[in-house]
Amino acid sequence: MNATGSDPSLAGRIDELEMRLAFLDDTLAALNEVVAAHDRDMPQLAAELQRLRGDLQGLRSEMAHDPHEEPPPPHY
């Protein structure tokens, strides 16, 4: 122990823990910003996905036509 009554290795461990805590706080803040950005983008992406599904369904129905509705080839 030193003159103040504290162990130097204990002070070093506390400093290391404080640095780790600061790093974790920064990481948590960055992750929170990413989650918030995704939360803001999600409704727009869901609407775009719904629109694309509708477009795909329309294309499928256009391509799935009845061959009996086609006019006969010109050689008939």
Q: Where are the domains of the chain?
A: 1-46
On the question of pLDDT at 3 being above 60, the answer is: no
Which of 5-9, 13-17, 63-67, 68-72: highest mean pLDDT?
A: 13-17
CA-angle at 28, arms to 27 and 31, nearest 5°: 85
Please indicate whether residue 59 or residue 22 has the higher confidence score (pLDDT). 22
Determine the pLDDT at residue 44: 97
Q: Are 19 and 25 in contact (CB under 8 A)?
A: no
Q: Please give the backbone phi and psi of residue 64, each rounded to the nearest 5 degrees, phi first.
A: -95, 60
Span 51-61, pLDDT tens digits: 999 999 998 88
Determine the pLDDT at residue 2: 52
Separation of alpha carbons 52 and 35, rounded Å: 25
Q: Which of 20, 23, 1 is nearest to 9 (CA)?
A: 1
**Average pLDDT rounded to a whole number, residues 40-47:** 97
